[in-house]
Amino acid sequence: MKELRFIAIEGVIGAGKTSLAKVLSNKLHAGILLEEFEENPFLTKFYADRKKYAFHTQIYFLMSRYRMQREMAQIDLFNSRIVADYLFVKDRIFAEVNLSDEEFALYDKIYSILAVDIPRPDLVIYLQSDPEVLFKRIRQRGRAYERDMEFDYVGRLCEAYNTFFFHYNSSPMLIVNIKGFDFLANPRDLDLLWGEMKELKEPRRILSRE
């Protein structure tokens, strides 16, 4: 496997993407690219009325993620390393779940134009979990704009993510079943993950305690 210069971490809401990105970037002395989801002015309204505000929310995220990815593309990845807590294509996963057919058709035209310029990760880490675990985590962290999120919505996202990543082949991928791992509190878990990342030779591999 080629040297890991651009690592993207993905997973449904509550999977621990940002937390892992922070500890992994610290371990690797890498730069970090974090989503700016709290800056989206439509997000609170979206969770209160998804149908009404889905398109506004999605377009804002699309343009924000595009800007961040283009800024990252200017970095010399031959002499530096970046860990991101999202994959650009995740925007399209949410769009398919949240938008009407007419809205998605318009969204996809914009997305297709922007996606051409997006750098491809050397490795994608997909943090996989059951909706019950994720919904509990979401409730525990108590973010105000997530209070109206329904369990059914988390389940739909899990299904959409699993379907997408089942077919994903644009980058090598390490699928991590998060049950039984604590990458923040247990350094050995983080060392195990890093060892799997370095030794990954097949297009995809599963890391699990089960």
Catalogue the active-site residues.
85
Query: Would you state the structure tokens that stand for residue 164, as one six-digit string?
Result: 């997408």
CB of 82 within 8 A of CB of 24? no
Query: Would you state the structure tokens that stand for residue 135, as one six-digit string?
Result: 């919904």
Q: How many Å apart are CA 142 and CA 140, to the nearest integer?
A: 5
From first CA to last CA, the distance across the chain in angstroms is 26
Query: Would you state the structure tokens that stand for residue 149, as one six-digit string?
Result: 């999120």
Instruction: Write the DSSP symbol of residue 38.
Output: G
Q: Is 66 helix (H, G, I), strand (E, B) or coil?
A: helix
Residue 198's Cβ-side half-sphere holds a number of Cα atoms within 13 Å equal to: 7
Q: How many Å apart are CA 203 and CA 167, to the nearest integer?
A: 12
Q: How far is CA 180 from CA 128, 177, 209, in A?
A: 12, 8, 6
